[in-house]
Structure 1
Amino acid sequence: MYVVRPVELGDIAALESLAAVTMPGVHTLPKTREKIAQAVERSIASFSAQVDIPSEESYLFVLESLATRKICGTAAIFASAGSNGTYFSFRNDVIQQVSRDLNISHSVHALTLCSELTAYSQLSSFYVDEEALHGPEAALLSRSRLLFAVRAPQRFGDRFFVPLAGVTDEKGGSPFWDALGRKFFKMDFLDAERTIGGARNRTLIVELMPHYPVYVPLLPGDAQAAMGQIHPSGELAFNLLTSEGFEADEYIDIFDGGPILQAHKHSLRTFTSSMQLRVENAVPARGGDVTYAVAAGTGQNFRAVTIRGHALEGGDSIGLSADVQDLLRVSPGDAVTCVRI
């Protein structure tokens, strides 16, 4: 069995091991122990903070195997993207051009630097290792961030987005970056990622990125083909997020051209389909064929697990075994949040 919980200081070594196996240019976790420790400390402080309006909080979750006590995955959510600046992306636009003299009218695909995603809540750092890749645990980990937002809505905005890593080669090179960003930053893609730290809200972007629309037909073919395409390692995350209700195509990342998925919370299944149920003592139902994510807690005590049983829709309670109650740190009469996965 697996549980999703907030990261703890004792997880730093495990996170360092996970970070070491991710490919160059595919940003999931910080790459150094120092930065990982900073991210963990920031997350612990965020979970412990009393929040009325989302700001600079960041929440990092881990997927833990209870059988081996191994950390098998990570996922994060930032309360407000660009809270210490502005979050930049490229917006896909269509520019209409007309010549009455020549009787010609056509549309041109253009990229416009914009900050429209600033203050959206941002999902990030999703990674699952091979041990938990093909079971419901991957969906549990991805969805736990939204379950936490359902249980603590004051901590987040009404809109969410998720940047996914774009196409890169085996050495971490990006055709989109080579065609566009390199012209202005005068550095390789990985160097730019390291220099700007994977952020999209730095002054360097304002100073160096083009402020006028970039006409896509002027870019090389391989750069155009890479726009909105995901790195192979991001296919699982993409499938989970689109089934949740996130939509692509409107924005892409300014560095590697990867897709940025976004949605209002009322378009997401976890918000629209989750149920608040009262805990009862029960032996897990046998013969059921429905898997649910069950979450409890609103701070550092947040926990989420999967259970399998019969459909819960229409009821006001859920029977949980003593073991599951202990994992979630709940007792009969407490409220938990459930959603079908």
Structure 2
Amino acid sequence: MIVPTTGIVRPSRPDDLDALYDMAKLTGGGFTNLPPDRGSLKARLARSAEAFAKPEDVPGDDLYMLVLEDADSGRVIGTGQIFAAVGESSPFYTYRLGTLSQTSRELNRTFRAEMLTLTTDYEGASEVGGLFLHPRERASGLGLLLARSRYLFIALHRARFADRVIAELRGVIDEAGGSPFWDGLAGRFFGMNFQDADEFNAIHGNQFIADLMPKHPIYLAMLAETARAVIGLPHPGGRAAMRMLEHEGFRHEGYIDIFDGGPTMAARTDAIRTIRKAQAATVTTIDGATGETSIVATGRLAGFRAGFARVAAAGDGVALDAGAAAALGLSVGATVLHVPR
């Protein structure tokens, strides 16, 4: 059995700035958690370092930024983020899609109006986001490793995260880099195009939404068809990410992003497939293991590492293939968390 391309997921470091900036320029816009702005990325790396150094095992306004590096070259080729609790320092807004039914006896008709309501219903939830893999690496299976390593990190530090996890998927962006949803709704109130609003949000936060966005419900019938047509749809480049989320047990509960209308997915933390199926074990043997390919994670906080490995039962623990053990810095006696690929 062949193990996929060797990659190691680890916590970010300040010296990852250049690599992250280079990747941010490849996102194509609408990727708020990885803005192509060096100052903003530097601040995120500093915030992440504080989270990994935090001594208390409790949820808070913490950002854990992970990076994927090529185990052979050390080159950073991907990144993913975990927010321990959204809405702690500023409101976390989403639109909820709902229906209002009204009946006229005189007309003998019932009217059902779909509407969007601005909410903070997901406040306090944990969030996984900022998932980006360099385009050259997307056929290697490393996107799966990067995405699921976030759940193993949560499992290893469960007390630091909430009982519900959400994931915001980027919405539909047109060929010019604009958002049909933004143009049909928020853009009418803010007097700026989507690119400017998205960049401002990535760097300064979304308090301006609270200041300027109307608080009353928005009737979908009042929106242009171009805006209605993309509500709840992921960007074409995010469809694979949506399928991975659904495979983990995430569901779209009718909430969408206030900027681009992309779907917000949610799951109960302990019901997430990777977390539910992960098993803790002690490494008893390191050899040319021929077991099934798994994702293996080890270490706490700044010492966290995750990667692919062949795992087989061995006595009271597991055997790992020597290559993966070396890449993860594991020796006999180490404790790992593993889950089948």
Normalising by structure 2, we get a TM-score of 0.93
Q: Is the 8 A contact 2:114 2:219 kept in 1?
A: yes
Q: 1:38 aligns with which of 37, 43, 46?
A: 43
Deviations 1:299-329 (A, max 9, x none): 100000112356x6x9852112444334333
Residues 106-121 of structure 1 aligned to structure 2 (within 5 Å)? 106-121=111-126
1:336 corresponds in structure 2 to: 336
Deviations 1:18-65 (A, max 9, x none): 111110223341212222121112111211111232111101111111
Residues 149-228 of structure 1 aligned to structure 2 (within 5 Å)? 149-197=154-202, 201-202=206-207, 204-228=208-232
Deviations 1:90-137 (A, max 9, x none): 011111111223221232211110001111111111001133312331
2:62 corresponds in structure 1 to: 57
Q: Is the 8 A contact 1:54 1:79 kept in 2?
A: yes
1:317 corresponds in structure 2 to: 317
The CA distance in 1 between the partners of 2:324 and 2:68, in whole Å, is 16
- 1:320 partner amino acid: L
1:258 corresponds in structure 2 to: 262
Q: 2:20 aligns with which of 15, 19, 27?
A: 15
**Shift in alpha-carbon separation, 1:33–1:257, aligned structure 2, 3 A:** same
- 1:300 partner amino acid: A
The CA distance in 1 between the partners of 2:210 and 2:40, in whole Å, is 25
Deviation (angstroms), 1:148: 0.4
Q: 1:278 aligns with which of 276, 279, 282?
A: 282
Percent of matched pairs sharing the same residue: 35
- 2:64 partner amino acid: Y
Q: Is the 8 A contact 1:149 1:156 kept in 2?
A: yes
The CA distance in 1 between the partners of 2:235 and 2:182, in whole Å, is 14
The CA distance in 2 between the partners of 1:39 and 1:165, in whole Å, is 20
Q: Secondary structure at the match of 1:282?
A: strand
Residues 229-244 of structure 1 aligned to structure 2 (within 5 Å)? 229-244=233-248
Residues 95-134 of structure 1 aligned to structure 2 (within 5 Å)? 95-134=100-139
Deviation (angstroms), 1:284: 3.1
Q: Secondary structure at the match of 2:297?
A: strand
Q: Secondary structure at the match of 1:21?
A: coil
Alignment RMSD, CA only?
Answer: 1.9
Q: 1:137 aligns with which of 142, 151, 167?
A: 142
The CA distance in 1 between the partners of 2:230 and 2:79, in whole Å, is 26
Q: 2:300 aligns with which of 298, 301, 320?
A: 298
Q: Secondary structure at the match of 2:153?
A: helix
The CA distance in 2 between the partners of 1:26 and 1:297, in whole Å, is 29
Q: Is the 8 A contact 2:233 2:261 kept in 1?
A: yes
Q: Secondary structure at the match of 2:21?
A: helix
1:269 corresponds in structure 2 to: 273
**Shift in alpha-carbon separation, 1:260–1:240, aligned structure 2, 3 A:** same
The CA distance in 2 between the partners of 1:201 and 1:24, in whole Å, is 17
Q: 2:76 aligns with which of 58, 71, 78?
A: 71
The CA distance in 1 between the partners of 2:248 and 2:204, in whole Å, is 25
Normalising by structure 1, we get a TM-score of 0.93
Q: How many residues of Structure 1 are paired with residues of Structure 2 in the alignment? A: 336
The CA distance in 1 between the partners of 2:192 and 2:161, in whole Å, is 35
Unmatched runs of 5 consecutive residues or more in structure 1:
none
Q: Secondary structure at the match of 1:197?
A: helix
1:245 corresponds in structure 2 to: 249
- 2:72 partner amino acid: A
**Shift in alpha-carbon separation, 1:37–1:198, aligned structure 2, 3 A:** closer
The CA distance in 1 between the partners of 2:151 and 2:214, in whole Å, is 34
Q: Is the 8 A contact 1:303 1:327 kept in 2?
A: no
Deviation (angstroms), 1:185: 0.8
**Shift in alpha-carbon separation, 1:326–1:44, aligned structure 2, 3 A:** farther
Deviations 1:137-190 (A, max 9, x none): 111100111110000011111111111111111222111111110111111111
Q: Secondary structure at the match of 1:11?
A: helix
Q: Is the 8 A contact 2:288 2:320 kept in 1?
A: yes
The CA distance in 1 between the partners of 2:310 and 2:285, in whole Å, is 16
**Shift in alpha-carbon separation, 1:189–1:137, aligned structure 2, 3 A:** same
The CA distance in 1 between the partners of 2:18 and 2:163, in whole Å, is 34
